[in-house]
Structure 1
Amino acid sequence: METLTFQFPAGEPGRGCTVVGCVSSGDLEVLIEPGTAGTLQIQLVTSVNGSGARWRQLFQRLFAGHTWPAMNIDIHDFGATPGVVRLRLEQGFEEIAP
């Protein structure tokens, strides 16, 4: 097990909280809640050691070039593919959208 932390610039805090996915399904779980103004914080617990570069690239593609609301995102990964990760994050963003 490995815990990774990432930060990206953000706007004002988002609204609402959500949980999508289920780690016990062999997939992953994403928890999203409002964060501190100016910061989008991601904490990732993964069962795949040494995958930090893959995660960093995925998050940079997703969060670059757009000002997201300030959020705290907790991800509990059970070896999900990047496509599933993006799907779960997008599902979470839809849940908290105004």
Structure 2
Amino acid sequence: MERFEITLPAQPAGAARQSALTGVVSSGNLEVLIEAGQNPAECAIEVNTSAHGFRDIWEAVLSDFAERHPAGGLRIAINDAGATPAVVSLRLSQAFEDSTGEAV
């Protein structure tokens, strides 16, 4: 397992926040848990992944998410079992929509 945390600048969201869980930890998939965070100008993300050596790709996908969505004030936990970047992006968007009620 590889584990790391990243904090990204993000626009604060105006929508009500609630916890959200999407996906499952299984081969080629991942689960994403979103909760309210501390800083409305940042998105804090913890990644636990079975795939070693892909941090640069993770950071690119997560940065893209934080740029596309007003994710400020969120804390995100990701438990990955080898998902592709497209699946990661999809699950993040689904969890964001569930958490904020904002369509993506």
1:12 Cα deviation after fit: 6.5
Unaligned runs of 5+ residues in structure 2 are none
Question: In structure 1, what is the Cα distance between the partners aligned to 2:21 and 2:68?
Answer: 25
Corresponding position of 1:76: 79
1:69 Cα deviation after fit: 2.9
| Secondary structure of 2:3 counterpart | strand
Pairwise mapping of residues 12-23 of structure 1 onto structure 2 (< 5 A)? 15-23=17-25
In the superposition, the TM-score normalised over structure 1's length comes to 0.87
Unaligned runs of 5+ residues in structure 1 are none
Count, aligned residues: 97
1:65 Cα deviation after fit: 6.4
1:50 Cα deviation after fit: 0.7
The answer (yes or no) to whether the contact 1:12–1:36 under 8 Å persists in 2 is no
The answer (yes or no) to whether the contact 2:32–2:76 under 8 Å persists in 1 is yes
The match for 2:53 among 50, 53, 64 is 50
Identity of aligned residues (%): 37
In the superposition, the TM-score normalised over structure 2's length comes to 0.83
1:67 Cα deviation after fit: 4.0
Paired letter, 1:84: V
Corresponding position of 1:3: 3
The answer (yes or no) to whether the contact 1:5–1:43 under 8 Å persists in 2 is yes
Question: In structure 2, what is the Cα distance between the partners aligned to 1:68 and 1:78?
Answer: 24
